Structure 1
Amino acid sequence: MQLGDINRQDGRPPSRQIADHLRSAIDRGDLLPGDRLPSEAELTRHYSVARMTARQAIQELRSEGRVVAEHGRGVFVRMPAPVRRLASDRFARKHREAGQAAFLAEAEKAGVHPAVDQIEIDRSAPPADVRERLRLAEDDQVAVRSRRYLADDRPIEVATSFLPLPLAEGTAIMEADTGPGGIYARLEDAGHVLDHFVEEVTARMPTADERRRLELADGVPVLVVVRTAYDTAGVPVEVCDTVKAAPAYVLEYDIPAR
């Protein structure tokens, strides 16, 4: 692997130049996903810099989410996103009819083993933005389902669904196992045939709790997808607030040109 040398005439600090060299090596494919980066000691010797300078260079790449540190093993190029989320297909009825919720269908396509844990079910007053999206009255309550999704035992997403309580009460939506096809299959079983979804996508840094639950390194952002599901009568039946580990996902949208 060609790392180059420090240019002392360059206005960039040595740590930035080293980070640029490592970044270029990743972009060229000299360092592939899963490959170990040169250690701080190796960088210190190669560039004739202080160890702190080498550490700052590696930290820059960690803050970008390009590399991950594994305790006792070193720093490695981050593996590519395991899940491609195709919005135009993930909620297709064919998946529910096959007994698959959206995440299970996506994981199957990606060739990863899906799992769900940290399932919590509650009844409560909704946040103001959820109340507005669901068109609820001030004193209405919602069913709340929170869960964490994993791909090959790696946590990649935390999702919280809010449903008008009358739609969920007395159904498997209030159980840990919602049954084949998930929440949306149970809504359709009850006569609320789904018509369309509206999603809002933003990005931000995670909260301390999100960082812990998703096992994120410092500096790694999250994607926030807030989805509202509507039935054929135009009634909003669910709001799902999803926080995704940004490096774990590719969000793909197939948009007709009409």
Structure 2
Amino acid sequence: MSTTKKTVVADYLREALAKGVYRPGERLPGEEELAEELDVSRATARLGMRILQDEGRIAIHVGRGAYVADHQPIIHRATPTSRDDPGRLDSDYHARLRDAGYSNIDEKIKVSLDTMRPKIAKRLLNESEEQGPHGGLVVIRASEHFVDGSLWQSHVTYFPFSIASNTALMSPEYLEGGIGEVLRELGLHEEWNWDIVGARMPSQDEADAFGLAPGIPLLIQERVTYEGQRPLRFTETLMPANRHQLLYAGGDAPEELRVMHSDVNIFEH
């Protein structure tokens, strides 16, 4: 069984999915049918299908066959506004989850104090912070969101110790007005931000925590917010790519944008 032949099978299926020949949730041809269609052995057809399974494109169920993965991601509005908090799920998002058939939404918050890793220091330290007595300390506020008992999103927000020390940010409790409101009460105003969004494969621990099938990557959104040139917080959000899609809007986008485009799906054909 050559690598070339199993790749032919994988490419054939990949092209069929791209053209929408098989819809999400639809059963694919079996090994025997694929083998006959492509003039390969059943073992080769099986290996080709496993490539697509490892990519997260199909799901193989023993005794039932292979099915097109039914990716129905929920829109997450990533554009920051005066009311947005990257560590929260807004009420609109809750409504979209319920519309998609999910019901039980829960949040767990943990707060800790640690020294800054190089990655965190690179995003949070400016010259004044580095020279201060607590320049190497960071307050970490981790928020995990569970939907129907499964980990759905993970947000970790890092604050310079000089900002978060002895404030509500160090309490592992739900913040009614969000992190932004606490910062405003401290006299700090988030004036601008930058975001980076990328994707990577999860570690085994992450795959287990999120309950991810083989081949499903994580979306990683990083955001640093500033007052002038002073970094106020750095938030890293982890989201399974098959459950989320990020919506960025520019200009004078209406507030109801998330509702208007709630049925947009990057996996549709």
TM-score category (smaller protein): 0.7 to 0.9
Aligned to 2:67: 76
CA-to-partner distance for each residue in 1:55-86, whole Å, 9 max, x for gaps?
21222212332223467765432233422233
Query: How far, CA to CA, are the matches of 1:69 and 1:48 in structure 2?
Result: 22
Q: Aligned pair in 2 of structure 1 residues 70, 191: CA closer, same or farther (>3 Å)?
A: farther
Where do 5+ consecutive residues of structure 1 fail to align?
1-10
Aligned to 1:92: 81
* 2:118 equivalent among 101, 116, 128: 128
Q: Cα offset for 1:164?
A: 1.7
CA-to-partner distance for each residue in 1:32-67, whole Å, 9 max, x for gaps?
222333444664576675443222122221233222
After TM superposition, list the pairs within 5 Å mapping 1:1-258 onto structure 2.
13-40=4-31, 43=34, 49-69=40-60, 74-88=65-79, 91-95=80-84, 102-105=88-91, 107-108=93-94, 110-112=96-98, 113=102, 115-117=105-107, 119-135=109-125, 136-137=129-130, 139-151=135-147, 153-231=149-227, 233-255=228-250
- Greater Cα shift, 112-121 or 245-254: 112-121
Q: Secondary structure at the match of 2:93?
A: helix
By relative contact order (CA 8 Å, sep 6+), the higher-ranking structure is 2
Query: How far, CA to CA, are the matches of 2:170 and 2:49 in structure 1?
Result: 46
Give the total of aligned pairs.
Answer: 240
Query: How far, CA to CA, are the matches of 1:70 and 1:198 in structure 2?
Result: 42
- Greater Cα shift, 74-83 or 117-126: 74-83
Query: How far, CA to CA, are the matches of 2:149 and 2:66 in structure 1?
Result: 20
Q: Secondary structure at the match of 1:16?
A: helix
Query: How far, CA to CA, are the matches of 2:87 and 2:119 in structure 1?
Result: 25
Q: Considering only aligned residues, what root-mean-square deviation do their CA atoms show, in Å?
A: 3.4
Q: Cα offset for 1:12?
A: 8.6
- Greater Cα shift, 44-53 or 56-65: 44-53
What is the TM-score normalised by the length of structure 1?
A: 0.74
Q: Is the 2:106–2:147 Cα contact (8 Å) retained in structure 1?
A: no
Q: Aligned pair in 2 of structure 1 residues 73, 243: CA closer, same or farther (>3 Å)?
A: farther
Query: How far, CA to CA, are the matches of 2:108 and 2:233 in structure 1?
Result: 20
Q: Cα offset for 1:161?
A: 1.1
What is the TM-score normalised by the length of structure 2?
A: 0.72
- Greater Cα shift, 157-166 or 71-80: 71-80
Q: Cα offset for 1:177?
A: 2.7
Query: How far, CA to CA, are the matches of 2:124 and 2:111 in structure 1?
Result: 18
Q: Cα offset for 1:127?
A: 1.1
Q: Aligned pair in 2 of structure 1 residues 184, 52: CA closer, same or farther (>3 Å)?
A: farther
Q: Secondary structure at the match of 1:93?
A: coil
Query: How far, CA to CA, are the matches of 1:74 and 1:189 in structure 2?
Result: 57
Query: How far, CA to CA, are the matches of 2:47 and 2:117 in structure 1?
Result: 41
Q: Cα offset for 1:255?
A: 4.4
CA-to-partner distance for each residue in 1:120-155, whole Å, 9 max, x for gaps?
321111112212322232753111122333455553
Aligned to 2:254: none
**Equivalent AA in structure 2 for residue 205 of structure 1:** M
CA-to-partner distance for each residue in 1:147-188, whole Å, 9 max, x for gaps?
333455553432221112243333332333322243223222
Question: Percent identity at matched positions?
Answer: 27
Q: Is the 1:126–1:162 Cα contact (8 Å) retained in structure 2?
A: no
Q: Is the 2:158–2:234 Cα contact (8 Å) retained in structure 1?
A: yes
Where do 5+ consecutive residues of structure 2 fail to align?
252-269
Q: Is the 2:141–2:156 Cα contact (8 Å) retained in structure 1?
A: yes
